[in-house]
């Protein structure tokens, strides 16, 4: 392998490692948010501890993904099982950031046809504009918020208003300084998201228990990605309804998974693929 290829591999490993480390660190914090925020607990205090023996988790055991694997999924002190959801959330956050970074920075924003494309390729990664880096950060914030909302909904916990309001405000403030952060107007996506969210939630759970969280998630998708992305996300959720209908002798409500899982996955595919 010549020097040029070694340099390319080294640069790719550097950026990939950077994005994976940063994403997993955010995922680790997201685990705290998912558990504590709906219950009205402080996000910083007390430090993370074992729910069984109450021993604090040591910093070297709290390394995202690797700490859980090294401990074999059990508390170091009392061997109480630690849910595999924690490393899964961390790994998911890492993969989301890495995928978004390659899709948006590496391509020069080719997946964002509503704005001029920038120079693409490995050597342009460090030269992307501030606006493109801002979009990457906003889109990562969107999918972290959606992941948190989906898991909170899955746990049957109420919608934490801050988890919806803060991402919306972040996008609206950014839109004040940068005119073209999504293909349409944010309010159009909000309206379509609100209407669609109520319909999707009703299909999943006729009691309306999921309405607030599902609607918040689809409004977020509409705010960040536009009304077309809301329709794609809704179709992703309806696909799950269709599978349930085909596999069951009769249609029943209360599908036992949050509609935001499939909706978020569909919206993510829509963004990365650059569909408009």
Residue 220's pLDDT band, with cuts at 50, 70 and 90, is very high
- DSSP code string of 53-95: T-PBPPGGG-STTHHHHHTTTB-TTT--B--THHHHHHHHHHH
What is the three-state SS of 16-55? HHHHHHHHHHHHHHHHHHHHHHHHCCCCCCCCCECCCCCC
Residue 208's pLDDT band, with cuts at 50, 70 and 90, is confident
Domain ranges of the chain: 1-106, 148-276
pLDDT in tens, 259-269: 999 999 999 99
Whole-model pTM: value is 0.92
138 pLDDT higher than 60: yes
Q: At what angle do helices 161-177 and 130-154 cross, to 10 degrees?
A: 170
Q: At what angle do helices 161-177 and 186-204 cross, to 10 degrees?
A: 160
In the prediction, which pLDDT does 140 show?
98
pLDDT in tens, 179-202: 889 888 899 999 999 999 999 988
pLDDT in tens, 140-169: 999 999 999 999 999 989 999 999 999 999
In the prediction, which pLDDT does 252 show?
55
In the prediction, which pLDDT does 248 show?
65
In the prediction, which pLDDT does 206 show?
72
Cβ(276)–Cβ(231) below 8 Å: no
Task: State the average pLDDT for the chain.
Answer: 89
Mean pLDDT of 80-103: 94
Query: Which of 275, 263, 105 has the alpha carbon at shortest distance from 197?
Result: 263
What is the spatial distance between Cα 170 and Cα 138, in angstroms, rounded to a whole number?
Answer: 8
Query: Which of 80, 91, 83, 69 has the alpha carbon at shortest distance from 19?
Result: 91
Cβ(49)–Cβ(56) below 8 Å: yes
């Amino acid at each position: 392998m010549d020097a040029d290829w070694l340099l390319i591999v080294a640069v790719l490993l550097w950026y990939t490692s950077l994005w994976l480390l940063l994403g997993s660190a955010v995922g680790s914090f997201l685990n705290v948010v998912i558990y504590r925020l709906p219950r009205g607990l402080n996000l910083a205090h007390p430090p993370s501890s074992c729910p069984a023996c109450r021993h604090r988790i040591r910093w070297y055991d709290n390394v995202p993904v690797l700490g859980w694997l090294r401990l074999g999924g059990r508390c170091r002190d009392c061997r109480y099982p630690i849910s595999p959801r924690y490393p899964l959330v961390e790994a998911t956050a890492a993969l989301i950031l890495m995928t978004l970074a390659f899709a948006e920075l590496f391509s020069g924003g080719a997946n964002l046809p509503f704005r001029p494309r920038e120079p693409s390729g490995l050597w342009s990664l460090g030269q992307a504009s501030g606006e493109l880096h801002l979009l990457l950060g906003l889109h990562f914030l969107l999918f972290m918020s959606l992941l948190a909302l989906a898991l909170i909904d899955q746990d049957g916990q109420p919608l934490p208003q801050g988890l919806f309001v803060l991402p919306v405000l972040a996008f609206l403030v950014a839109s004040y300084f940068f005119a073209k952060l999504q293909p349409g107007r944010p309010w159009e996506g909000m309206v379509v998201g609100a209407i669609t969210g109520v319909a999707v939630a009703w299909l999943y759970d006729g009691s309306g228990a999921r309405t607030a969280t599902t609607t918040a998630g689809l409004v977020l998708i509409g705010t960040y990605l536009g009304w077309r992305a809301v329709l794609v996300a809704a179709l992703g959720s309806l696909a799950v309804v269709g599978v349930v209908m085909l596999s069951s002798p009769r249609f029943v409500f209360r599908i036992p998974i949050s509609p935001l899982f499939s909706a978020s996955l569909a919206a993510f595919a829509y963004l990365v693929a650059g569909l408009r």
